[in-house]
């Protein structure tokens, strides 16, 4: 009998067929994520789980999945999985670091430009038929990245890749990292000072208990009037209620790819604000990056199913150090 493997998200048929060669696959094909009850049911008797960000995996669910021996997520972030609980139960969690660095850094820079040069707003303006006069000297004026100070919160691989791109723009770069780190062209600063100093603050930390609301109400209040917050990390890095107030008052601008609640509810206050560019969590959404992520996730899954060490493991403590 083939070992059972749950695929908790809709994936192209060729991937499912490829998995079926080795596993008894329980594949989810719904357009919405599996709810906790559906996932717990599916995990009964399963040894492997292939999932992504919309699958929340709690300790309780793991308790109901007594045969589970590998979790493989098609993401670098693992905040949707109770990592401590997985480690305690001896379950390695595979993730996909590295391969999405460039795509995510590109998108962060795209959001910076979209906000500072009012790209989304201008596109909407043209489509609404408002372009009735030719070139106008004061039309949709923005601000220049080249003259800005950009603050990077988190100087891991993605923060560094953003810095690499921005060096070409000629702007001033300042940054903070939890463990102080020298990055070419980036002046190190205390976290509060980054928020105080920068014209654009871009978040590049993983979501953990320590980084939740790293862009707190107090730090948002430190930002300069007219400054921009960019978030391509995770929604809960930001105190969204405080950000909404700062946007509504016109004090700040923002470019957001991630939200505490995804998808963004239809009545969410962000949707009625014009000084924020909103994207549907597409930081890694290029064909080649997504293919590379799936390849890594499948390698992790296969290794776990064979009781081998995962090449990209988010909880190496599971192997005893």
Q: So which residues are the catalytic ones?
A: 234, 262, 281
Residue choice 40, 47, 72, 75 for contact with ligand GLV (CB under 6 A): 75
Binding region for ligand GLV (CB under 6 A) out of 74-82, 143-151, 190-198, 209-217 = 74-82
For Cα atoms 15, 21, 22, give the angle at the middle one, nearest 5 degrees. 105
77 or 255: whose CB is closer to ligand GLV? Answer: 77
**What is the distance, to the nearest Å, from the Cα of residue 112 to the centroid of all Cα atoms in its chain?**
16
Q: What DSSP line would sit under 72-111, residue for residue?
A: EESSS--TTB-HHHHHHTT--EE---STTHHHHHHHHHHH
Counting contacts by CB under 6 A, is residue 76 touching ligand GLV? Answer: yes
- Which of 108, 283, 297, 315 binds ligand GLV (CB under 6 A)? It is 283
* Candidate list 9, 61, 68, 77; residue touching ligand GLV; CB under 6 A: 77
Long-range contacts from 207-210, C-beta under 8 angstroms, 24+ separation: 207/77, 207/79, 207/233, 207/234, 207/236, 207/237, 208/79, 210/178
CA–CA distance, 294 with 300 (Å, rounded to integer): 10
Q: Which is nearer to ligand GLV, 113 or 285 (by Cβ)? A: 285
- The CA distance from 257 to 278, in Å, is 6
Residues 27-66 as x/- pattern, contact with ligand GLV by CB under 6 A:
--------------------------x-------------
- 163 near ligand GLV, rule: CB under 6 A: no
Count of residues in contact with ligand GLV, rule CB under 6 A: 7
12: its two tokens: 């192209």
Q: Which CB sits closer to ligand GLV, 79 or 199?
A: 79
Residues in contact with ligand GLV by CB under 6 A are: 53, 75-77, 100, 283-284
């Amino acid at each position: 009998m083939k070992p059972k493997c749950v695929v908790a998200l809709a994936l192209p048929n060729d991937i499912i067929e490829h998995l079926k060669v080795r596993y008894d696959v329980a594949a989810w094909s719904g357009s919405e994520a599996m709810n906790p009850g559906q996932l717990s049911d599916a995990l009964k008797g399963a040894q492997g789980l292939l999932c992504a960000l919309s699958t929340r995996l709690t300790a309780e669910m793991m308790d109901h999945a007594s045969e589970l021996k590998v979790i493989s997520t098609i993401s670098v972030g693992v905040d949707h999985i109770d990592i401590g609980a997985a480690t305690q139960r001896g379950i390695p969690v595979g993730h996909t670091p590295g391969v999405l660095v460039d795509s995510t850094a590109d998108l962060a820079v795209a959001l910076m430009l979209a906000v500072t040069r009012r790209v989304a707003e201008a596109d909407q303006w043209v489509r609404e038929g408002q372009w009735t006069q030719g070139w106008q000297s004061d039309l949709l004026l923005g601000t220049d990245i080249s003259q800005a100070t950009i603050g990077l919160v988190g100087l891991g691989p993605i923060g560094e890749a953003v810095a690499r791109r921005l060096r070409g723009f000629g702007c001033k770069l300042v940054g903070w990292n939890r463990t102080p780190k020298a990055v070419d062209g980036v002046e190190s600063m205390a976290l509060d000072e980054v928020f105080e100093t920068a014209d654009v603050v871009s978040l590049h930390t993983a979501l953990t208990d320590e980084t939740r609301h790293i862009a707190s109400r107090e730090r948002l209040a430190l930002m300069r009037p007219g400054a921009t917050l960019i978030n391509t990390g995770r929604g809960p890095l930001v105190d969204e209620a405080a950000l909404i107030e700062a946007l509504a008052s016109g004090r700040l601008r923002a470019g957001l790819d991630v939200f505490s609640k995804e998808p963004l509810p239809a009545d969410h206050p962000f949707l009625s604000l014009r000084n924020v560019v909103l994207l549907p969590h597409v930081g890694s959404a290029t064909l080649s990056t997504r293919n590379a992520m799936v390849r890594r996730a499948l390698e992790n899954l296969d290794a776990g199913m064979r009781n081998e060490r995962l090449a990209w493991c988010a909880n190496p403590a599971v192997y005893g150090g």
